[in-house]
Chain A
Amino acid sequence: EAQVTQNPRYLITVTGKKLTVTCSQNMNHEYMSWYRQDPGLGLRQIYYSMNVEVTDKGDVPEGYKVSRKEKRNFPLILESPSPNQTSLYFCASMGGLYNSPLHFGNGTRLTVT
């Protein structure tokens, strides 16, 4: 089944403790992206990657890192999480065509205390 898999689904952590949210897709998509969803703000793009070893900042990249060492994986790294990074995070992928739709993972609900 074609899908985008995020892990974990839920994560509670403390300020400053490094964490990684994994994202993997099995559709051989070139494009992958991370979004955070907050009430009243919709989905805001954190980082995106148009291909392996190519990453670019979205609208809210501060406090986050990403890497794209292989096509299928696009982990999101929070080196020193803070409470304002408490949010619902979605990973998404898209085929290589400009007009393709995004395929979203099931989301990761992160709480930083």
Chain B
Amino acid sequence: GQQVMQIPQYQHVQEGEDFTTYCNSSTTLSNIQWYKQRPGGHPVFLIQLVKSGEVKKQKRLTFQFGEAKKNSSLHITATQTTDVGTYFCAGRGTTDSWGKLQFGAGTQVVVTP
């Protein structure tokens, strides 16, 4: 079955630095979504990518969907303390029921002032 792998598992970042988290699927995805979970909170939707090669930006966050629709990345520039949390990608396989949304293990981001 489909597997979604996310790296790195942990990311320690100095405030002001950039970092990237990656999401890789073993199968082609219909779409991919990104969520952010603050410490002690619940996952909150950030964005969805649908098209091959799609790039979307939200202020300092840049999301990318690979050409083969099997991988995605989230790049954060000039990290701030408000970026602390765990970032999850979630994908739907093209042959799966659309109800089966598979999450990666998440990247836990710690920001040092």
Contact = CB atoms under 8 A, between A and B. Distances in A.
Interface residues of B, number: 26
A101 B99 contact: no
Interface string B16-58: 0000000000000011010100000111110010100000000
B103 interface: yes
Contact of B102 (A40, A59, A104, A106): A59
Interface residues on A, range: 20 to 34
Contact of B48 (A33, A43, A99): A99
B43 A104 contact: yes
A65 interface: no
A102 B43 contact: yes
B106 interface: yes
A62 interface: no
Contacts of B1: 59
Interface string B69-98: 000000000000000000010100000011
Nearest to B2: A59
B59 interface: no
Contact of A43 (B43, B45, B100): B43
Contacts of B6: 42
Given A40-B105, A58-B100, 10 more contacts: A33-B99, A42-B88, A42-B105, A44-B103, A48-B100, A49-B99, A50-B97, A59-B102, A104-B44, A107-B42
7 contacts: A33-B101, A43-B43, A43-B90, A44-B103, A56-B99, A102-B43, A105-B42
Top-8 shortest CB links A-B: A101-B45, A42-B105, A43-B103, A104-B42, A48-B99, A42-B103, A42-B106, A104-B43
